[in-house]
Amino acid sequence: MDKILRIDMGAEGGPKVSEVPAGEYAGMGGRALTSTMVAKEVPPLCHPLGAENKLVIAPGMLSGTSGAMSGRLSVGTKSPLTGGIKEANSGGQAAQVLARLGYAAIVLEGKPKGDDLYKVFINKDGVKISADNSLKMLPNYDLIEKMKTEYGEKIACISIGTAGEMKMCAASVAVTDMELRPTRHAARGGVGAVMGAKGVKVIVLDDTGMKMRPPKDPDKFKAANKKFVDGLRNHPVTGQALPAYGTNVLTNILNEAGGYPTYNFKEGRYVDAHKISGETQAETENARGGPGSATHGCHRGCVIRCSGTYSDKDGHFLSKQPEYETTWSHGGHCGICDLDAIAKMDFMDDNYGVDTIEMGVAIGVAMEAGLIKFGDAEGAIKLLEEVGKGTPLGRILGAGAGTTGKVFGVERVPVVKNQAFPAYDPRAVQGIGVTYATTPMGADHTAGYAIATNILKVGGFVDPLKTEGQIELSRNLQVATAAIDATGMCLFIAFAVLDQPETFQSLIDMLNAFYGLSLTGDDVVALGKQILKTERDFNARAGFTAQDDRLPSFFKTEPVGPHNVTFNVTDEELDQVFNW
């Protein structure tokens, strides 16, 4: 990971590949690298789809090592959705493979002259980029099948579906999982549209002949990793809940807490939630005789294993096990309680290459506009088909919830910085509202997952219905998350890291043993703060102000049941999040 691969897609005579030393970016990984590079190299007022924007794809600091959970891939750019800086990260195999191939980052730059579509192949012998217009408008699953035929099964792919080619603001960058399916996505903020604007359909990685990245102190690294894994296995969330039910274990929990946004944030509890809960999902999966629920990771080295497969009644693959955010966005948010329909939409999202959160929320906003009724699963699937076809209606939805609201004149549109809310009502869980409002990313739960402490009582407890303590909670989580996103570690390690000091220490020990450093907890905090500072500085230069760190006003005026609460954290308090 000491080199950076820059591909100038706008070079005269076709794409120009250059491998350069990591230089000033040496030692950085994941979100630290993508955000630092975007902030330094991309003009904040450039058009996200223009020549001046860049797409930075970076494994984390520990990706490609034998360290557990280190398979996250960061994708950074100026977002076509928010207009601000964006880091979206994904599981899947690519981060490990890319890191083992020695790359700290792939950077797509410039703007193609013609309309050729390119594929990039990288293995131990180097980089090959070639125009391949036979790939045009292939959805992700077909594309990956084609790549398997062409390059064999020992590959990992980073790709866009049809949505990315159409430069939709909801377009994701897909990453293949251990089964070589395009089920893992750097989904948020339209990063796939930027890849599409660069004219790159797929990056195929093959690390055959490459070795695991070697730690400076192998023994210490091994020992720290063992402690780390033990910590994850001992924690109830990472050791029991997630492996048993996947992320969808949250449906019943959030519904019980009254924080499950239903019918486009009109209610906080969904009467049919039990029909789409993780428990029901696992039962269904097991009964149908598929490979069973929650039995494997999305990348090698995962010990939490929250992934699964969802089969139809005849036991045929329908989609990966839909995540909680997806069963919510296509489910409760739209008043849909049909797991098969949700799995079908999950597959379509992965196949077209769109963010399931943005997509589901956009469909809910279309329901609010009266295009179809809440609860109409068939109608929702049809709307999603329009996205795949790129009809005008599909383009509207594919441009995200904010644009859908704007085009159809809807007032109640749950977005911050034009990015759709995830699956937690900020009125019933005030801490997550602080994160939605203030993270540089636009509404994003992963940026500072206050659900942990507000609802799951991980890392202590802060009453979700009160405003006290939420600013500090969100701040600390945002700082910790930014640092974790730099390591390449799956964010789910945070549950154990927050609750168990020895697990946090073992993570630091891994970093120190690998790089020969002597970082302390304070250094990790400083890293997180530095990343946030860099991102906020970019956004300020792009024209963002405190006024962009606000929830839509209806969350402050419209109480939500069952707790009958509004979002009560004041603007003045929100403005204190980054005053550390």
CB of 3 to a copy of itself, least distance (A): 30
CB of 533 to a copy of itself, least distance (A): 18
CB of 407 to a copy of itself, least distance (A): 5
Q: Are 164 and 170 in contact (CB under 8 A)?
A: no
**Is the CB of 105 or the CB of 397 nearer to a copy of itself?**
397
CB of 575 to a copy of itself, least distance (A): 13
Q: Are 160 and 196 in contact (CB under 8 A)?
A: yes
**Is the CB of 95 or the CB of 542 nearer to a copy of itself?**
542
CB of 541 to a copy of itself, least distance (A): 7
CB of 310 to a copy of itself, least distance (A): 31
CB of 353 to a copy of itself, least distance (A): 14
Q: Are 98 and 210 in contact (CB under 8 A)?
A: no
**Is the CB of 235 or the CB of 556 nearer to a copy of itself?**
556
**Is the CB of 222 or the CB of 406 nearer to a copy of itself?**
406
**Is the CB of 533 or the CB of 541 nearer to a copy of itself?**
541
Instruction: Look up residue 327 and give its DSSP letter.
Output: H
Interface positions with a copy of itself (CB under 8 A): 43-47, 49-50, 52, 80, 166-169, 193, 196-197, 391-393, 395-396, 399, 403, 406-411, 541-548, 550, 552-554
Q: Are 343 and 318 in contact (CB under 8 A)?
A: yes
Q: CB neighbours of 356 closer than 8 A, spacing ≥ 6?
A: 185, 187, 322, 323, 325, 326, 329, 330, 345, 346, 349
Report the b/e string of 38-69 with b at 16+ CB within 10 A. Answer: bbeebebeeebbebbbbbbbbbbbbbbbbbbb
**Is the CB of 170 or the CB of 224 nearer to a copy of itself?**
170
**Is the CB of 363 or the CB of 494 nearer to a copy of itself?**
363
Alpha carbons 165 and 539: distance in angstroms, whole number: 26
Tokens representing 172?
Answer: 């994701």
**Is the CB of 244 or the CB of 407 nearer to a copy of itself?**
407
**Is the CB of 49 or the CB of 223 nearer to a copy of itself?**
49
Alpha carbons 432 and 271: distance in angstroms, whole number: 23
Tokens representing 332?
Answer: 């409760």
Alpha carbons 52 and 56: distance in angstroms, whole number: 13
**C-alpha atoms less than 13 angstroms from C-alpha of 553 in its C-beta half-sphere:** 2
Calculate ∠ Cα 24-29-33, nearest 5°. 55
**Is the CB of 553 or the CB of 570 nearer to a copy of itself?**
553
**Is the CB of 263 or the CB of 554 nearer to a copy of itself?**
554
CB of 574 to a copy of itself, least distance (A): 12
What DSSP letter does each residue of 396-462 carry, written as one string?
HHHT-HHHHHHHHT-S---EETTEE--SS-TTTSHHHHHHHHHSTTSS-STTS-THHHHTS-TTS--
Q: Are 172 and 164 in contact (CB under 8 A)?
A: yes
**Is the CB of 38 or the CB of 399 nearer to a copy of itself?**
399
CB of 167 to a copy of itself, least distance (A): 3
Q: CB neighbours of 11 closer than 8 A, spacing ≥ 6?
A: 110
CB of 197 to a copy of itself, least distance (A): 7
**Is the CB of 53 or the CB of 262 nearer to a copy of itself?**
53
**Matching residue, tokens 């980073």:** 158
CB of 188 to a copy of itself, least distance (A): 17
412 CB neighbour count, 10 Å cutoff: 16
CB of 375 to a copy of itself, least distance (A): 21
**Is the CB of 296 or the CB of 417 nearer to a copy of itself?**
417
Element (H, E) at 20: strand 16-21
**What is the end-to-end Cα distance of the chain in Å, rounded?**
33
Alpha carbons 259 and 451: distance in angstroms, whole number: 10
Alpha carbons 261 and 330: distance in angstroms, whole number: 12
Name the residue among 150, 81, 165, 100 with its Cα closest to residue 402. 81
Q: CB neighbours of 219 closer than 8 A, spacing ≥ 6?
A: none
CB of 10 to a copy of itself, least distance (A): 12
Tokens representing 262?
Answer: 């239903």
CB of 392 to a copy of itself, least distance (A): 4
Q: How far is CA 278 from CA 90, 187, 241, 487, in A?
A: 21, 22, 10, 29
Say if residue 327 is exposed, middle or buried (CB neighbours under 10 Å; 0-12, 13-18, 19+).
buried
